[in-house]
């Protein structure tokens, strides 16, 4: 592929969860049939603070056209300059799916000089177009490949940030394990790397569990 990739938005749900000031949290979630994300012990690379060897599992075991996805919502960067979330990256289990559109970072940006939510843009950073790094073998034998986004983001501030897995079992394996998830200077090797250590549950029927990120294609430069 060339240096520019235009990804058409499918659909994702973003859950605005409260995060204390100065903390960064990652909350697995999802919606639709046979689709979710969750931390799984014994499936990943060594953790920073325990021997659980967790990895973040994403699943969509239905066709891509089905309205469903595994989602991980990242909180705490809202209102900061877009440079605050760079670099973006993760290590993915090579037995799982790494496509142009999933797993991907959805970076929702509020442009400068406006506070109108209707002016927000969404940048998609897909796994297949990220830059390859090293490889590592987990204690359970799974091979992980490092993936990094080394480009820049449009100017503005962060409105929301999530990892979305919405490419289904018709185009790949229907799952992937991610580990060492890097956003700016914060890395998640396990659930315990949430900045404030809190555990949050959410009601998928609640009003805050809203539909977002529809139909906003944006060109993104990926260094190759």
DSSP string covering 70-137: EEEEEES-TTSBGGGG-SEEEEEETTS---SSSSEEEEEEE-TT---GGG-EEEEEEGGGSEEEEEEE
138-190 pLDDT per residue, tens: 999 999 999 999 999 999 999 999 999 999 999 999 999 999 999 998 999 99
SS3 171: coil
Q: Please state, in angstroms and as integers, the Cα–Cα distance from residue 224 to each residue in 21, 82, 128, 132, 216, following that order.
A: 36, 21, 11, 9, 24
- 217 pLDDT band, cuts 50/70/90, is very low
Q: How far apart are the first and last CA of the chain?
A: 9
Question: What are the pLDDT digits (tens) for 33-54?
Answer: 999 999 999 999 999 877 899 9
Q: Which domains does the chain have, with CATH numbers?
A: 4-221 (2.60.120)
Sign of CA pseudo-dihedral 47, 51, 52, 53: positive
The pTM for the full model equals: 0.81
């Amino acid at each position: 592929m060339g240096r520019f990739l235009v990804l058409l938005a499918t659909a994702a749900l973003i859950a605005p969860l409260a995060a204390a000031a100065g903390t960064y949290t990652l909350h697995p979630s999802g919606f639709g049939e046979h689709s979710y994300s969750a931390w799984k012990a014994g499936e990943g690379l060594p953790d920073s603070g325990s021997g659980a060897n967790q990895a973040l599992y994403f699943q969509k075991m239905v066709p891509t056209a089905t309205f469903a996805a595994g989602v991980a919502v990242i909180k705490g960067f809202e209102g900061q300059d877009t440079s605050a979330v760079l670099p973006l990256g993760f290590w993915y289990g090579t037995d799982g799916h790494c496509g142009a559109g999933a797993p991907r970072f959805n970076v929702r940006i509020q442009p400068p000089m406006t506070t109108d939510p209707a002016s927000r843009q969404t940048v998609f950073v897909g796994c297949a177009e990220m830059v390859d790094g090293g490889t590592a073998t987990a204690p359970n034998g799974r091979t992980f490949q490092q993936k990094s986004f080394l480009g820049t983001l449009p100017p503005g501030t962060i409105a929301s940030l999530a990892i979305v897995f919405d490419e289904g079992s018709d185009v790949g394996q229907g799952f992937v394990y991610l580990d060492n998830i890097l956003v700016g200077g914060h890395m998640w090797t396990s659930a315990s790397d949430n900045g404030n250590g809190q555990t949050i549950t959410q009601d998928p029927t609640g009003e805050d569990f809203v539909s977002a990120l529809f139909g906003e294609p944006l060109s993104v430069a990926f260094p190759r």
